[in-house]
Amino acid sequence: MTDATTPTVYEWAGGMPAFERLTEAFYKRVRADDLLAPIFAHMPPDHPKHVAIWLAEVFGGPAEYTAHHGGYPHMLGKHKDVGITEEQRFRWVTLIALAANDAELPADPEFRSAFLAYIEWGTRLALANSQPGAQSPPEAPVPHWGWGEAPPYHG
């Protein structure tokens, strides 16, 4: 159970600097990966920063992605018709887990459990929403992930 004295996952991770280290380490791995590099071959230089802002908001940080980057509809649009495969999804999960080590995110089981639970949940949604013809909800809030609970979605 969380209360006002329990830090958010964002705070526990180390705030925005931790998520920026994470996404820089992650995309360094992606660029060198035969399976994922082609998907991200044309990503703009600020892509890792935008993903850091998304993850920060998801884990209880400032709502900057919603306020300045288009929120959920924008993220959904980035995946539309990409046709992510299960192999690519799993590699994404694997590389971000390794990048969490590279970025020296907390290694305690509670943090890693919350972090990887969201990564699993989010990448499975991205896989489903990326399929050609997917009927994704056009509007939803950025998910807010905490210590051990999946956010409810009421569409």
Q: What secondary structure does DSSP assign to the chain, as a single string?
A: ---TTSPPHHHHHTHHHHHHHHHHHHHHHHHT-TTTTTTTTT--TTHHHHHHHHHHHHTTS--HHHHHS-HHHHHHHHHTT----HHHHHHHHHHHHHHHHHTT---SHHHHHHHHHHHHHHHHHHHHHTSTT----S--PPP---SS-PPP---
Any domain includes 96: yes
pTM of the entire structure? 0.89
Any domain includes 138: no
Which residue did the predictor score with more confidence, 57 or 153? 57
* Per-residue pLDDT band at 149 (split at 50, 70, 90): low
Domain range enclosing 22: 9-129
Any domain includes 71: yes
Any domain includes 134: no
- CATH code of the domain containing 49: 1.10.490.10
Structure confidence by residue, pLDDT tens digits, 83-118: 899 999 999 999 999 999 999 999 999 999 999 999
Any domain includes 80: yes
Domain count, the chain: 1
Any domain includes 97: yes
